Amino acid sequence: MLAQSPSTVPDSDLATLEPSEPPKTGRFRRPRSQRLGIGAWAAIIWLGIVLVGAILIPILVHSNPNNNAIAGHSSQGLFKVASHPLGFDRNGDDMLLNLAKGARNSMLVSLGAVGFGLILGGGLGLVAGYFGRGVDGALTTLFNVLLSIPPFVLALSLITVFATTAIDKTGNQHPPSSTHRLIVLIIALGVVSVPTLGRITRANALQWSQREFVLAARAQGASNIRIMLREVLPNVLPAMFSIAFLAIAFVIVAEGGLSILGVGVLPPAVSWGNMIAGTRADLQTLPFELFEPILCIFFTVLSLNYLGDIVRSRFDVRESAI
Amino acid sequence: MRAALRRILQLAVVLLCVSFFSFGLLSLAPGDPVVAIVGFAAPSQLKAIGHQLHFDRPFLVQYWDWLTGFLHGNLGHQYFGPTGEQNVSTALGHALPVSLQLMAYAMILTILIAIPLGVLAAYKSGTVIDKIINTTAFGSIAMPDFALALVLSYWVGVKLHWLPSQGYEYPTHDFVSHLQHMALPALSLAVGQIAGYMRLLRSDMVATLQEDFILMAKAKGITNRRILWRHALRPSSLTLLTVAGLNVGALIGGTVVIEIIFQLPGMGLLLYTAITERQFVMLQSLVAVIAVGYVIVNVLIDTLYTILDPRLRHARAIA
């Protein structure tokens, strides 16, 4: 965290200063401060439910076209129909099923985008931090340029250009398919997360590359690639992942914002974001249709932020290093 | 001095790259750029517009023309089919003040709420009050601004009819009504920001309150209030500035979305129009304007930083 009291201990010495582990006689218990609290478990359980639900519910529950017949009941609100605990949306589709499908796409987009960012941004950051000098300068400038456009605006302009309705010379309109939009969405949000992940990786790689074991590996004749992947990368991973948690949360929220601008996940595909965006038209009649996806996003982002915080404090990742 | 020169050079490089990116956007679009801009038209019309927009020239010449035009405030046109056009700069002139007002109100709200809360939480650190404030802040960071905007416009606007849920009023026309229209958008933007500012201010001040000079001030018998506001808060101004820098991007992105939800005729709504009506020239100019504004704000914050903290000036000069 930025505001943590400045540590007087240089980072390179931290490893040697960590409290020595208690002797492993009898049953080993982690010290209290290292155990996961209730909050962390709640976060993990929620994320587990979301993931399992996203995968299983659409397989187990089939949307029944006859459901439309009872769409009229949807205005009776929450918990009225036992077999459909979360009610119906305005098309008469089961909200639980919708939320699960939405979770699928929201997870697909966020994990895909952050995966993209981790591989590309992490890779570039590792190279920049390891080689330093000119390579570092060039890549840092690249990150700075990417960072100099507000992330949300960058994503929306990329998506507009690559995945909105195209008009050809004869005047025919070619609306993009949902899949096409999904792929562009993943890449665009991935590009957005490249500089953030790249910079944290670079900052950490820079520190670890100066350590003795890197020198030792080099002395033994290890190749640069080997040193980067086997010596530096494992030490940098915690920092990358703690930021990745935040990045996933950011992408989930950003997809919702993009949906409101009409460039998020494209209907008929569902995401939490476009479910929220879709309710703007009739807030009067179906408020739960708005609140349910919002709560899903809220708890997911909350869990990710919480876990990110824990990883960060455990591995002493400083945001100021970014 | 050398450091300053280096920074200016860096700024120039970044601005050049950003403008190049905004310009290149259009050429990246699949298909014929002229068709993308004006839609369907007779081949002769397409050719004429293509010529007018310099699409028949080499790419770098196009870029140069665009850049000089941009610097002269010529942001191109909005196209309505092959014949109708409207100046983007005129549209921008109407939209920009609205967005700036919204951001300013959000910032004012943020500062007015976040600083007292942060100071209170730091002063009461470890107590129930601190925990409540902190937990609420942690929760409100997880609340997306657009979701909060929709919930607020539903509850306060549609259900309770306390405040207008949509629309804009010019401040010169009816200032009270203007504030009423801006209240919900500004609040939805501010909540996330408040949490961010407050959390960092709190942890910063908790550290400051442990310092010797605070003990010294206490020993001199200075009142708690004065110690908190005069002695302990002042060193945290740098932290607040850092948060401001980190949050500008989120603020701009948030403004875009919030404006659409509340139908405020600002940059966000303009961007929305550009996207839905495929006004690529307008999109290009808007992205460029936003990016340049963002870069300039960040540079200002950075400069302010070095002015406020002389230590940094030297540290940067070395690095």
Q: Which of B83, B93, B75 is nearest to B23 (CA)?
A: B75
In a domain, B75, yes or no: yes
Residues 6+ apart with CB under 8 A from B264: B98, B99, B102, B167, B168, B181, B182, B185, B258
The residue type at B55: F
CA dihedral angle for residue A113, residue A115, residue A121, residue A124, rounded to 10 degrees:
-140
Task: Dump pLDDT digits (tens) for B56-102.
Answer: 777 778 788 788 888 877 767 666 555 556 777 888 888 899 999 99
For residue A116, the model assigns a pLDDT of: 95
In a domain, A1, yes or no: no
For residue B1, the model assigns a pLDDT of: 64
Q: Are A241 and A307 in contact (CB under 8 A)?
A: no
User: What is the tally of helices (H) and strands (E) in chain A?
Assistant: 11, 2
A268 upstream amide cis, omega within 30 of 0: yes
Angle between helices B280-308 and B310-318 (to 10 degrees): 110
Task: Dump pLDDT digits (tens) for A145-191.
Answer: 888 888 888 898 888 888 777 766 666 777 788 888 899 999 999 99
- The CA distance from A294 to B146, in Å, is 10
In a domain, A303, yes or no: yes
Domain boundary among B36, B57, B90: B90
For residue A33, the model assigns a pLDDT of: 61
A253 to B31: CB separation less than 8 angstroms, yes or no: no
- Whether residue B259 sits in one domain with residue B140: yes
Residue B24 three-state SS:
helix
B17 to A161: CB separation less than 8 angstroms, yes or no: no
**Is the CB of B260 inside 8 Å of chain A's CB atoms?**
yes
In a domain, A267, yes or no: yes
Task: Dump pLDDT digits (tens) for B146-178.
Answer: 989 888 888 887 778 888 878 888 888 888 888
- Whether residue B233 sits in one domain with residue B131: yes
In a domain, A52, yes or no: no
A141 to B14: CB separation less than 8 angstroms, yes or no: yes
- Whether residue B160 sits in one domain with residue B289: yes
Give the per-residue SS3 of B56-77: CCCHHHHHHHHHHHHHCCCCCE
A302 to B139: CB separation less than 8 angstroms, yes or no: yes
> How many CA atoms are closer than 13 Å to the CA of B6, on its beta-carbon side?
9
Residues 6+ apart with CB under 8 A from A256: A264, A271, A272, A273, A274, A276, A277, A297, B144, B146, B147
Q: Which of residues 121-150 of B touch A (CB under 8 A)?
A: 138-139, 141-147, 150
Q: Are A149 and B291 in contact (CB under 8 A)?
A: yes
Q: Are B236 and B201 in contact (CB under 8 A)?
A: yes
Whether pLDDT at A34 is above 90 = no
Task: Pick left, alpha or beta for residue B26 (phi over 0 → left; psi -120 to 50 → alpha; otherwise beta).
Answer: alpha
Task: Dump pLDDT digits (tens) for A260-272.
Answer: 888 888 888 888 9
CA distance A4 to chain B (A): 7
**Is the CB of B61 inside 8 Å of chain A's CB atoms?**
no
Write the residue in A3, A144, A150 that is nearest to B249 by C-beta.
A150
DSSP, res A291: H
Task: Dump pLDDT digits (tens) for A78-121.
Answer: 444 555 666 666 666 777 888 888 899 999 999 999 999 999 99
- Greatest mean pLDDT among A16-30, A104-118, B75-89, B262-276 lies in A104-118
Q: Are B203 and A1 in contact (CB under 8 A)?
A: yes
Chain B positions in Cβ-Cβ contact with residue A243 (cut-off 8 Å): none
- Whether residue B253 sits in one domain with residue B217: yes
The enclosing domain of A276 has a CATH number of: 1.10.3720.10
For all residues of chain B together, what is the average pLDDT? Answer: 82
- Whether residue B82 sits in one domain with residue B151: no
Whether pLDDT at B310 is above 60 = yes
Q: Provide mean pLDDT across the span A294-308.
A: 92
- The CA distance from B220 to A257, in Å, is 53
Q: Which of residues 1-30 of B touch A (CB under 8 A)?
A: 10, 13-15, 17-18, 21-22, 25-26, 28-30
% of chain A at pLDDT higher than 90: 26
Quickly list DSSP for A102-120.
Answer: HHHHHHHHHHHHHHHHHHH
- Whether residue B106 sits in one domain with residue B64: no
How many structural domains compose chain B? 2
Chain B positions in Cβ-Cβ contact with residue A166 (cut-off 8 Å): 30-31, 36
Residues 6+ apart with CB under 8 A from B148: B188, B191, B192
Domain boundary among B47, B71, B90: B90
Task: Mutation target for B interface from A157, A289, A307: give the one with most B CBs within 10 A.
Answer: A157
A141 to B28: CB separation less than 8 angstroms, yes or no: no
The enclosing domain of B205 has a CATH number of: 1.10.3720.10
In the block, tokens 């808007």 appear at: B286
Task: Dump pLDDT digits (tens) for B94-153.
Answer: 889 999 999 999 999 999 999 999 999 988 888 899 999 988 998 998 899 898 988 888
In a domain, B8, yes or no: no
CB atoms within 10 A of CB B42: 9
Residues 6+ apart with CB under 8 A from A224: A130, A131
- Whether residue B159 sits in one domain with residue B80: no
B294 to A290: CB separation less than 8 angstroms, yes or no: no
- The CA distance from A97 to A58, in Å, is 6
Which residues form the domain of A288? Answer: 94-314
Whether pLDDT at B317 is above 60 = no
- Whether residue B144 sits in one domain with residue B57: no
In a domain, A278, yes or no: yes
A3 to B239: CB separation less than 8 angstroms, yes or no: yes
Write the residue in B30, B200, B210 that is nearest to A2 by C-beta.
B200
B29 to A162: CB separation less than 8 angstroms, yes or no: yes
Residue A10 pLDDT class (50, 70, 90 cuts): very low
Characterize the bridge pairing of strands A173-174 and A166-167.
antiparallel
Domain boundary among B90, B111, B132: B90
The residue type at A138: A
- Whether residue B203 sits in one domain with residue B97: yes
- The CA distance from A256 to B319, in Å, is 40
B35 to A280: CB separation less than 8 angstroms, yes or no: no
B278 to A167: CB separation less than 8 angstroms, yes or no: yes
A152 to B249: CB separation less than 8 angstroms, yes or no: yes
Task: Dump pLDDT digits (tens) for A205-264.
Answer: 988 888 899 999 999 988 999 999 998 999 999 888 888 998 999 999 999 999 988 888
- The CA distance from A274 to A102, in Å, is 8
Buried b (16+ CB within 10 A) or exposed e, B114-131: bbebbbbbbbebeeeebe
Chain B positions in Cβ-Cβ contact with residue A274 (cut-off 8 Å): none
Residues 6+ apart with CB under 8 A from B309: B238
Q: Provide mean pLDDT across the span B242-247.
A: 82
How many structural domains compose chain A? 1
- The CA distance from A238 to A208, in Å, is 13
Task: Dump pLDDT digits (tens) for B192-220.
Answer: 899 989 988 898 888 888 888 888 888 99
A298 to B242: CB separation less than 8 angstroms, yes or no: no
Q: Which of A173, A293, A196 is nearest to A248 (CA)?
A: A196
Q: Provide mean pLDDT across the span A39-52.
A: 90
In a domain, B141, yes or no: yes
Q: Are B106 and B182 in contact (CB under 8 A)?
A: no
Instruction: Provide ipTM, 2 decimals.
Output: 0.84
- The CA distance from A167 to A175, in Å, is 9
- Whether residue B140 sits in one domain with residue B269: yes
- Whether residue B98 sits in one domain with residue B23: no
Two structure tokens written together for B137: 């802040």
How many residue pairs bridge chain A and chain B with CB atoms within 8 Å of each other?
A: 168
In a domain, B171, yes or no: yes
Which residues form the domain of B198? Answer: 92-318
In a domain, A155, yes or no: yes
- Whether residue B280 sits in one domain with residue B236: yes
